[in-house]
Structure 1
Amino acid sequence: MNMTDTKTLKYAKSHEWLRLDGNRGTVGITDFAQKEIRDIVYLELPKVGKELTQGGQAGMIESVKAAFEIYAPVSGRVVAVNEKVAQDVTLVHKDPYDQGWLFQIEIKNPAEANNLLTEDQYNKITTNGGH
């Protein structure tokens, strides 16, 4: 397991993270979010080929108590989904930044990533009540 340096990620206020690799991005939910959600029972991930818009719904996480929407941190086309996490949702809890990634996106407009937060900015939001 490779450990992600979370300082290199970009964060959405809706608690998704984005790892940039050229014009491709990997998306997951933050450690803060997985702790808040707790017992995940089901993940609905976007289909490969689906076009997403920044801030638009990309999927759904269902826990024992509630359902939470997953939003796209940037616009683009889904090019891969993490089949392992779809089969074993506990990976989101165990390893949200590496094995627990959700999907990969071919980014339409890389400048959109500038609208996202740094780790420090995101941590300020989450320490002040979460939203």
Structure 2
Amino acid sequence: MPHQYRIFHQYRELTNLKKTLKPAECVLQVDFSENFACKANTESQSMHFGAGRGQVSIHSAHATFLNEERKLVTKCFGTLSGDTRHGPSGIWAHLHPVLKEIRQLGIEVLHILSDGPTP
């Protein structure tokens, strides 16, 4: 039940936040996708069984904000890295280019949501 309550409460708060966004405000939802094994178009047999196959990490994000006509707009982002660690430094490395682009949109207040730990 506590888990179900958190889901309901977070969804309600997120919906309300998006409905009440002001100009120059943005809601940024971020999450790591799983690590993915790279695959070549043509592989030798040893590659087929996992030898030397590299992994990449995908970090996805989407920003919701008001455009010039005050309509709610969502812009999607995805960054790719050969570093598969999901610690604070890895998250910052993925977020840095996203935050630079959001700043260019004239955003001054940023609400960030992730699937990070909750009490």
TM-score (norm 2): 0.29
User: Quick check: which one's helix share is greater?
Assistant: 2
TM-score (norm 1): 0.27
The structure having more radius of gyration, on CA atoms, is 2
